[in-house]
Amino acid sequence: MGKRSGPLRVTALVATLVATLMAVLLATLLAAVSVPALAAAAPRASHGAEKPRASLPGPPDVVRGRFVAPVALDGGVLEVVPAPARVRPGLSEEQAAQEIWASPVLQGRAEGPLGFGLVTISLKVGGVPHVTKLPAWVGFAKSSGVAFCPDESASSTSSPASLSGTDLPSSGYAAVVIGAADGSPAVTYSAPSLFCGRVQPAALALATEVLSVPWQALTAVENQSIRVRASLPACASFEGIASGGSAKEFTITISAVVPDVHGRCEGTSDITQTVVMGPVDNPPGAPPPLITATTAIRHGALGPMQLAVAPAS
């Protein structure tokens, strides 16, 4: 028995060596197959990754004056994406905000986010520059949804009662885009919206702002009115007159509409207007006139007028 133990031990050792070599060979083959497979799978995974989906604009989308997430109206008809850090606006945020919130398109709408980003608008309108990846300041605002609507007649055409927010996902929204470089396009975009039972279509137009302009009195107060001369800046048109106050102090504001990107206009222009400040030809027994010779007549604050509704603090 002792003489046979040597060959048995040799045989067992050989078997162990063979098994080890086969295991090493198998592991090598598996590695050679799996590594290329993983390498090939990685590009497929990267190709399948989708860019972040744009949503309606909200306060978290702007950080330190720049859009940090894509936002859109009408499923991408107007889209704003974050601008590369190296792209800097030539227009300050403060100046852009003054122009944007003074836009007549935003009058009565509640201020939303305002920030810097790259803007693309797929809607095209004659006479309005095409906007594609434009570095710009963008301000969004939304109507409250409350409106004083006229009575509808039987012959009026209204939208189907089933129309919902799904059909008009950006109803009530409007945006003002101010190119961040001198001479860049400036446009406004209003999303299709449901108003008084009717759908107002999308609108794209050149951006304008409303300014309070200086004026001079041409006459004293006569019969509760005063004649004034107002000076309009280049390219501006007369917008209207707002007045109000008390018998002690009365304020007159004369406004003009000015394009955000000026055309070839030269110099200022003057207009004359009659401002009615109180009751005219009071009948017997009526309250005394609001304005007297001792009433102080004041100018309204000059410059861009805040037309959008500031957010509640």
Of the chain, the percentage scoring pLDDT greater than 90 comes to: 57
Residue 157, pLDDT score: 43
Residue 120, pLDDT score: 98
Q: State the chain's mean pLDDT as an integer.
A: 81
Least confident of 69-83, 222-236, 277-291: 277-291
Least confident of 137-141, 155-159, 284-288: 155-159
Arithmetic mean of pLDDT, 95-121: 97
Read off the pLDDT band of 27 (50, 70, 90): low
Closest alpha carbon to 238 in 186, 279, 194, 273: 273
Q: Are 192 and 203 in contact (CB under 8 A)?
A: no
Arithmetic mean of pLDDT, 225-239: 94
- For the residues of the chain, what is the DSSP string, one character each? -TTTHHHHHHHHHHHHHHHHHHHHHHHHHHHHHHHHHHHHHHHHHHHHPPPPPPB---GGGEETTEE-S-EEEGGGTEEEEPPPTT---SS-HHHHHHHHHT-GGGTTPEEEEEEEEEEEE----TTS--EEEEEEEEEEEE--S---PPPPPTT-----TT--TTTSTTTTEEEEEEESSTT--EEEEE--EEETTEEEPPEEEE-EEEEEE-EEESS--BTTEEEEEEEEPTT-EEEEEEEEE-SSEEEEEEEEEEESS--S--S-EEEEEEEE-S-SSPPTTSPPPS--TTPEEEEPPPEE---SBPPP-
Residue 313, pLDDT score: 63
Would the pTM count as exceeding 0.85?
Answer: no
Q: Are 196 and 151 in contact (CB under 8 A)?
A: no
Residue-wise pLDDT tens digits, 175-191: 999 999 887 899 999 99
Residue 40, pLDDT score: 41
Residue-wise pLDDT tens digits, 238-251: 999 998 888 889 99
**Sequence spans of domains, the chain:** 1-49, 59-145+156-206, 210-304
Closest alpha carbon to 186 in 86, 103, 87, 92: 103
Residue 222, pLDDT score: 84
Read off the pLDDT band of 214 (50, 70, 90): very high
What tokens does 9 get?
Answer: 């031990």
Residue 39, pLDDT score: 39
Read off the pLDDT band of 311 (50, 70, 90): confident
